[in-house]
Homo-oligomer: A and B are copies of this chain.
């Protein structure tokens, strides 16, 4: 794990044209970021050094609902569908009741992936040890791991870490937890929101780790969201699923879905605010904003990323077509390297889209970069000197806006992606197994 010291730790971008808050939602990151997932009331967290990471940094994190609130818990979880899903993902999926998850135990430094039956036993032991320490049924404890793929996690070391973490659980432990889940992240990713719903004020907190996949699998994305709103399990599940579809599933760093990806949403009702349908809608918008903010931080931390590109696909013949075109452009290494070079290379964008739409004729496509129309009716536009200047100025910035209208129908989609530059190659080629 030689990366920690070799790459600069940068700050998460504070502001973004790509991120706007819905009405009634207040960002309380600045002061509250150190708390992250413990900004909402009624959560305890900690992060300790168990000795899994060679660096000696925190590597076991524990999040738990305050015992008095256990009866009000309504949770939800979404896991990677990768065919080689890691042991903790399998255990969390099989052996927890997602709607009652009241604690999450995470280790970093070892992904416990491609570790067979022994790995499953270790993940189950993690779950049981955390349940024992918290006096909870095992089915209420979710497990997650991130780090190196293919190495066995020492069950004694991680159990010791869990005991240690349980002993120091505290109401403002969100930052310690966050540090304990980080691997190759260049900056920590947390967000806290205060939401004025029609039903009353509730709080949302979240943290995430991840920045593309790293060799030999610093396996990727973990996201934990907490709220003191009182939700029903059904609302928790449907909101999480929907808003992940609108945020995480629209992010491309390198188009890979890791063996360890997971997102948890825990609600504990500590605010005493029970959300009605109208309140839940407001809450959903806030959840989307929180997830999007965490996503944009992950894109900004994309390995070697220098730009975030926001691509909107419009005028597609169907939702699937819109989604596939957006994904193809976002995943194209040619488009990504052009963005890195600040090159408004519409030819590559059309080419990537045209590959997905093979066999079709699309004579009415238009394309705008930073609001400048560069393609009209599927052919190049002759740009005025002012347009060229505007295009250059836009491409020189750290956020690029692209609109691709296929001229077919009314379906649309959007995606956020990072560029691909020398740092990506450095990071991903330099690590040796």
Contact = CB atoms under 8 A, between A and B. Distances in A.
A151 interface: yes
B256 A346 contact: no
A351 interface: yes
Number of identical protomers:
2
Contacts of A333: 254-255, 333, 420, 424, 428
A35 interface: no
Given A353-B83, A425-B422, A379 B344 contact: no
A114 interface: yes
A348 interface: yes
A361 B360 CA distance: 35
B151 A380 contact: yes
Interface size class of A (residues with CB under 8 A): 35 or more
A285 interface: no
A71 interface: no
A351 B255 contact: no
A378 B119 CA distance: 12
Nearest to A87: B379
Contacts of A424: 333, 337, 425
Given A119-B379, A420-B333, A81 B345 contact: no
Given A362-B83, A379-B119, A215 B257 contact: no
B259 A213 contact: no
Contacts of A85: 354
Contact of A114 (B150, B213, B347, B433): B347
Interface string A209-230: 0001101110100000000000
A340 B114 contact: no
Interface string A250-292: 0000111111000000000000000000000000000000000
A341 B84 contact: no
Interface in A272-314: none
Given A354-B82, A362-B84, A256 B332 contact: yes
Contacts of A114: 347, 350, 375, 378-380
B377 A116 contact: yes
Given A81-B359, A257-B355, A354-B82, A429 B337 contact: yes
A43 to B, nearest CB: 32
A194 to B, nearest CB: 36
A125 interface: no
Interface in A172-224: 212-213, 215-217, 219
A47 interface: no
Contact of A84 (B217, B342, B353): B353
Given A341-B432, A343-B429, 5 more contacts: A114-B350, A338-B428, A341-B429, A341-B430, A343-B432
Interface of A: 81-85, 113-116, 119, 149-151, 212-213, 215-217, 219, 254-259, 332-334, 337-338, 340-348, 350-355, 357-362, 365, 375, 377-380, 420-422, 424-425, 428-433
5 closest residue pairs by CB, A with B: A341-B429, A217-B347, A150-B380, A337-B428, A81-B358
